[in-house]
Structure 1
């Protein structure tokens, strides 16, 4: 998979700044393939059993964090097909936006068609 934006080569300050740019100007990045290293987060809803996951990056002082939802492959089973929670991962995926809450000023960015390196 060809990568359009490789955040793995940048310092933590620059990664945080670039992710901030993506959040502020998502249309400049939608459809691009992103490579990012960060902390893999996972949450399983106890009632629905739905699994939500993401990759989080922090700024240089670790006071602020941003990240993306990760759309795991449809056939992925939790937990065996997922990285360990809170582990450092490098993920490559296509950036897409969930605009279902845009009328309230919120756009959620997610990586789709992901692979872990």
Structure 2
């Protein structure tokens, strides 16, 4: 989801003004970690440096109920992480990252269900 400047449905008047971790259930404090989603995509998250990198899953899904990995703007690139809205194994992760279009204030990334979160050594 990309939220745009302006008024009306789907727009917000202001970008997030702070970095926040609102609903992270397994990781109190800062997290430098690797998470894998149901679609096979992998995310490297660093809440200290405030970055998020997504690597698209390449595997074919055997279960027809599992959505295949989508191709997203700037896959494989490190993005500035603005906010972690949700991050919990067994649920969808939701992140706000830097704007990925010129008319956006920020971009919201939502994953398929998180299968695993592994803390990385610093």
- Identify whether the pair has TM-score above 0.5, normalized to the shorter chain: no
Q: Greater relative contact order: 1 or 2 (C-alpha under 8 angstroms, separation 6 or more)?
A: 2
More helix by share: 1
